[in-house]
A and B are shown apart, each in its own frame.
Chain A
Amino acid sequence: MAINKQTVEYVAHLARIELQPKELDKLSRQLQDILDFIDKLNKLNVEKIQPTSHILPINNVFRQDIPSESLLTDKTLSCAPGNKGSFFVVPKVIE
């Protein structure tokens, strides 16, 4: 599977990561090497195999809809780089 610089740039945009030109070059080469290595999975025919996304035989783990202790506003905001009142402050979201 070939991965070119445009693809890496696009994926970086999806991942919301700004890459410098030198980083983009280096990363594209390294990712190509890694993908070439990963391509050995193509040797296997897994059409009829069920995927394992979760290793323990548990699912639908619910709890009763009863409120218990939660993180208070002041504690939640205490880590924020920008906050005002009970809000996180960020740059403009909508034009």
Chain B
Amino acid sequence: MELNSLTAHALIEKLNKKEITGQEILSALNSRIKDVDSKVRAYVRVGKNTEFKGSEAGGQSNSLKGIPVSIKDNICTEGLNTECCSKILEGFKPPYDATVIRKLKQSGALIFDFKTNMDEFAFGSSTENSFFGPTHNPWDLDCVPGGSSGGSAAAVAADEAILAIGSDTGGSIRQPASFCGVVGLKPTYGRVSRYGLIAFASSLDQIGPFTKDVKDSALLMNVISGYDPRDSTSANLDVPDYTKSLGQGVKGIKIAIPGEYFIEGLEPEVKSITEAAINKLKDMGAAYKEVSLPHTEYAVPVYYIIATAEASSNLARFDGVQYGFRNTGNNNLIEMYKKTRGAGFGEEAKRRIILGTFALSHGYYDAYYLKALKVRTLIKRDFDEVFKEFDCIITPTAPSAAFKIGEKMDDPLKMYLSDIYTISANLAGIPAISVPCGFTKKGLPVGLQILARPFGEETLFGVAHCYEQNTPWHDMKPKV
């Protein structure tokens, strides 16, 4: 078996037994990227003869020694281009490492020197809004990989990466994980430091892992989680060894199934595949019951007010002054700002910034932003109520499998509605994982989403691992 198609834990075992070297892993990946990335386009700013190298610092722990990790283009890596797949950050080489990068380097991991593709500034659910063009789903190159972390998801699915990192604000890890048939986790808000993540929505963003299986996800979470004094929203709580949650089985686990996630809008094939997965868990000793999350229908409108409002504030810094692209030949500063931002931002970025600015503006703030924050309280309460009695909640990750490239680009609202099942977890700050649970008749992956209470990642790993180890999905690979 090619080294690039193995999991990190399998490679670590081989490295420890001195059966292989780190260089051999890197060579296998480079070979694979040369073979398929011209079709998949998981990576950006890559030339015909690019050789991926990894950069590392001395390891304190060696848990990921020798393992390359691919990084989404919105996470700062010192000296390596980080552009959020936007023209406005053209040429930006951060002068510092994000905390997750520092932690990965300390674990001995190799940080790939080229980044994975994404929707510009994480605005999107398909990776079609990238300045560099879309990534193609390895299971069907005419389809999107999902977004906004489509590049990271596709790279792992196509064995162009061993491990990858993405970010999730409204589903941007879980939905592409579902579309690409890999494991994607959004940690509890505050579990992983946001320092060095180029911010989209500061109260919603989290960095998280893309992996080929649940064990790798636990390994990666062990490395990247933890309190960071540089992130004032970082939770000052110990990080357990997440690998200890694996192999627990699901006997006695109480699963809640929210009725609101199984109504019209959910494709029938996805519905039946999800129901089969839930029954599989029941066969293994879990119990499930239908519950209500009554404010589910308000999640998408609430999100598109709060996230865009926060984005309008976070993206105010991109003005051509300190970094990135600047429109030149202007007579004054305001003209420079307007022309730089007008030319530097893509269509979706402009749409969201303007919507967010509107929601915060005088006369509309109460009706939109303040109202959305209050409904957010109600959404969080729905989850708190359910978690009083249940260990986890299970839903489909997305209402459909991957759609065709170009299919939803003319209708922003249609695109926004594809986030319907993932958004609530960001609003409530709870952790959620997507694991592969089957394929449609057209051969496209379907993901199962498991949600837990705040800092309940151990429950997610336990349930997800049990399901995965008793099903064949994680061993299946696309033919690229």
Contacts and interface: CB of A to CB of B under 8 A. Distances in A.
The answer to whether A and B interact is: yes
Contact of B301 (A20, A41, A56, A79): A41
A92 interface: yes
B302 interface: yes
Interface string B212-252: 00000000000000000100110110000000000000000
A94 to B, nearest CB: 9
Interface stretch (B276-284, B332-340, B470-478): B332-340
B374 interface: yes
Given A3-B358, A55-B428, A91 B330 contact: yes
Given A44-B298, A71-B95, A91 B351 contact: no
B350 A27 contact: yes
Nearest to B78: A75
B351 A90 contact: no
A46 B335 contact: no
Interface in A14-67: 14-20, 23, 27, 30-31, 33-34, 37-38, 40-41, 44, 46, 49-56, 58, 61, 63
A75 B93 CA distance: 10
Contact of A30 (B333, B351, B353): B351
A40 B321 contact: no
Contact of B325 (A11, A55, A78, A81): A81
Contacts of A49: 374-375, 377-378
A38 B312 contact: no
Given A41-B372, A91-B332, 6 more contacts: A44-B298, A46-B374, A61-B233, A75-B95, A79-B93, A95-B332
B332 A88 contact: no
A15 to B, nearest CB: 4
Interface residues of A, number: 51
B337 to A, nearest CB: 4
A8 B321 CA distance: 25
Interface residues of B, number: 71
A51 B93 contact: no
Nearest to A44: B375
Q: 5 nearest interchain CB pairs? A: A51-B373, A55-B429, A18-B342, A79-B323, A46-B374
Give the interface SS of chain B, mostly helix, strand, loop or mixed: helix
B258 interface: no
A81 B298 CA distance: 43
B297 interface: yes
A88 B336 CA distance: 14
A30 to B, nearest CB: 6
A18 B353 CA distance: 12
Interface string B346-369: 010011011101100100000110
Given A17-B354, A18-B342, A37-B301, A53 B203 contact: yes
Nearest to B236: A58
A50 B332 contact: no
Contacts of B375: 41, 44, 46, 49
B337 A81 contact: no
Best-surrounded residue of A18, A54, A88 (most CB of chain B within 10 A): A18
Nearest to A88: B321
A92 B355 contact: no
B350 A40 contact: no
B268 interface: no
Interface of B: 92-96, 189-190, 203, 229, 232-233, 235-236, 297-298, 300-302, 304-305, 312, 316, 319-326, 330-339, 341-343, 345, 347, 350-351, 353-355, 357-358, 361, 367-368, 370-378, 380, 412-413, 416, 427-429
Contacts of A71: 95-96
Contacts of B302: 41
Nearest to A93: B333
A15 B377 contact: no
Contacts of B361: 11, 14
B351 A92 contact: no
Contacts of A50: 374, 377
A46 B300 CA distance: 17
Contact of A41 (B95, B298, B341): B298
Contact of A80 (B322, B333, B335, B353): B322
Nearest to A83: B322
Contacts of B372: 41
A20 B305 CA distance: 24
Contacts of A23: 347, 350
B301 A52 contact: no
A46 B377 CA distance: 10
10 contacts: A11-B357, A19-B342, A31-B351, A33-B412, A34-B304, A49-B378, A55-B190, A56-B235, A61-B232, A79-B322
A27 B351 contact: yes
Nearest to A26: B347
Nearest to A59: B232
Given A31-B358, A34-B412, A88-B321, A17 B338 contact: yes
Nearest to A51: B373
Nearest to A56: B190
B227 to A, nearest CB: 11
Given A14-B361, A82-B326, A38 B378 contact: no
